[in-house]
Amino acid sequence: MRVRSLAALLLAGGLALTACGKEGSPADTGSAPTQAAEADVKVDGSATFDKMKSRGKVVIGVKEDQPGLGFKDATTNKYSGFDVEIARLVAAKLGFGEDKIEYKAIASAGREQALINGDVDYYVGTYTINDGRKEKIAFAGPYFVAGQDLLVRADDTSITGKETLMGKKVCSVTGSTPIKRIKDEKLTEDANITEFQNYSQCVSKLAEGAVDAVTTDDAILKGYAAQEKDKFKVVGKPFSKEPYGIGLNKEDKPLRDKVNDVLQSAIDDGTWKSIYDSTLGKSGSPAEPPAIDRY
């Protein structure tokens, strides 16, 4: 199972991360679109929705240490990122404004149990849909399809995809799926592979010129690129598929259907693109919304 836990640290004025989980041109549009709460929402047969209404707020499981995706500002305590904006969109369409949202940071390893226990109403945080997880919980979406990609220096034109890595120095996290794939597929020589405990160390080495590329999910790499567009870029040729879904209680099909409807509407009316452009799109890498899988 992919390890997607990230730890946010302030290192030398930069943000450190540890990780392991198209149409339109992105523009730096500033803030994400404001989501107004819908009135008189009903989700017949949903025990989770009934619980939300009874308590008067929605509890959303998120990540808080992934810039561009799910990040909590230590100064303002405010959450931001693509995943967070998708979570807010769903909350608004269920009738809950920003003042009626409680965010709960849940590490990757605890996501399924949090949903099973009812500790969160739904979870949005680089949560790959797979069959093993479907045995325990349900998914709406996907709302984004990530894939293993490469972060390189902005002026590097020699690396254009995984097929151009031979002879290049590649960095990733020890024990991660991305580093395993690099080794298994023999994309570069073993002597050119550098491993660290977190991706911030890899990115620092990339900036120094000590390595030529950093590899993990493109969504995470886009967060780095968006922070320092003058230094880094994402190659944009992913070589795996990681469909991100919204985690829900397995037994609550009415809520899953409702959330899928919300996501489809956002794709159809352009809201999805506005959210992407104002978050991950700032990396300069375009994307298109995936097809909803109503299993």
**In terms of Cα–Cα distance, which of 267, 224, 285, 210 is closest to 89?**
267
What is the overall mean pLDDT for the chain?
88
pLDDT at 241 over 80: yes
DSSP 231: T
Task: Please report the pLDDT score of residue 107 as a whole number.
Answer: 81
Q: Give all domains of the chain, ordered by start, each with its CATH number.
A: 47-146+242-283 (3.40.190.10), 148-235 (3.40.190.10)
**Token pair in block for residue 69:** 């995706």
Q: Of 88-97, 152-161, 162-171, 215-224, where does mean pLDDT reach its minimum?
A: 215-224
Task: Please report the pLDDT score of residue 258 as a whole number.
Answer: 98
What order do you get walking across the sheet with 70-72 strand by strand?
65-66, 70-72, 79-80
What is the rounded CA–CA span in Å between residue 264 and residue 266? 5
CB atoms within 10 A of CB 280: 29
Decide: helix, strand or coil at residue 206.
Answer: helix
What pLDDT digit, counting tens, does each position of 2-38 carry? Answer: 434 333 333 333 333 333 333 333 334 467 788 899 9
What pLDDT digit, counting tens, does each position of 187-208 carry? Answer: 999 999 999 877 788 999 999 9
**Token pair in block for residue 208:** 């120094």
What pLDDT digit, counting tens, does each position of 74-99 carry? Answer: 999 999 999 999 999 999 999 999 99
Task: Please report the pLDDT score of residue 30 as a whole number.
Answer: 60
Task: Please report the pLDDT score of residue 13 as a whole number.
Answer: 33
Task: Please report the pLDDT score of residue 234 as a whole number.
Answer: 94
**Do strands 9-11 and 14-16 pair parallel, antiparallel, or not at all (unpaired)?**
antiparallel
What is the rounded CA–CA span in Å between residue 85 and residue 111? 19
pLDDT at 243 over 70: yes
**Token pair in block for residue 285:** 């890498």
